Amino acid sequence: MGLPPDAQIVSNLGLMLGLAHVSKDAVTDVVKRILGPTADHAGAAIASLFKKRTERVDEVLETSARMLLAAEAEPQPVPGRIPIPVLNHSSWEEDAALRQRWAALLANAATGGDSIVPAFAGIVRQFTPEHAAIVQWMFDQGEMIESRGRIWPDVFRKEIEAMR
């Protein structure tokens, strides 16, 4: 009858380390000594990342709530397929201006209606700050043009980027 799988692994590890018979505790001790500092650093890095992501989600939710209050809009329930990706993707976003976009997307979704589709989260996720500035410029231009009853002007990308 052979050793149980975990004991066999410990025994094999002991043979690889040049030890005839190694107890599980001894191998655990050796592994902790070898990997301890690395594991501690990795654990700290993961904890820091989790903390940053949580802070970003809190920021997006708070900003979204402030937008709704400023607009005097009554928040409506939003189907999970919208806020879950929005909060997930926004938690990875390092750029504050883009987190504002995530908050606006969530606030708009909470105003009711079906103007915000789940695909918007996938689109915004791919934005760089420059893309967001271009989209904002287009929106602003559209409002200005509509108010004047004009058609869209010819503009080059460099001109739009220079406005940022």
Residue 10: domain span: 5-127
Structural domains counted in the chain: 1
Q: What is the DSSP letter of 151?
A: P
Digit-by-digit pLDDT tens for the chain (164 residues) are 555 555 555 455 455 555 545 566 776 777 777 777 787 787 788 889 999 999 999 999 999 999 999 999 999 999 999 999 999 999 999 999 999 999 999 999 999 877 788 899 999 999 999 999 998 888 888 777 767 766 666 666 677 677 76
Place of tokens 């690395």: 38
Residue 160 within any structural domain of the chain? no
pLDDT at 88: 95
Q: For residue 34, is it within any domain?
A: yes
Burial of 112 (0-12, 13-18, 19+ CB in 10 A): middle
Which pLDDT score is estimated for 41? 81
Rounded Cα–Cα distance for residues 39 and 50 (Å): 16
In a domain, 96, yes or no: yes
Token output for 46: 């993961």
Q: Is residue 143 part of a domain?
A: no
12 lies in a domain?
yes
Length of the chain: 164
Classify each residue of 70-83 as buried b or exposed e, where b means 16 or more C-beta atoms within 10 Å of its C-beta.
Answer: eeeeeeeebeeebb
- The reported pLDDT for the residue numbered 12 is 54
pTM of the predicted model, to two decimals? Answer: 0.66
On whether residue 136 sits in a domain, the answer given is no
Q: Would you say residue 149 lies in a domain? A: no
pLDDT at 94 (0 to 100): 95
Confidence at residue 61, expressed as pLDDT on a 0 to 100 scale: 96
- Distance separating alpha carbons of residues 164 and 160, to the nearest angstrom: 7
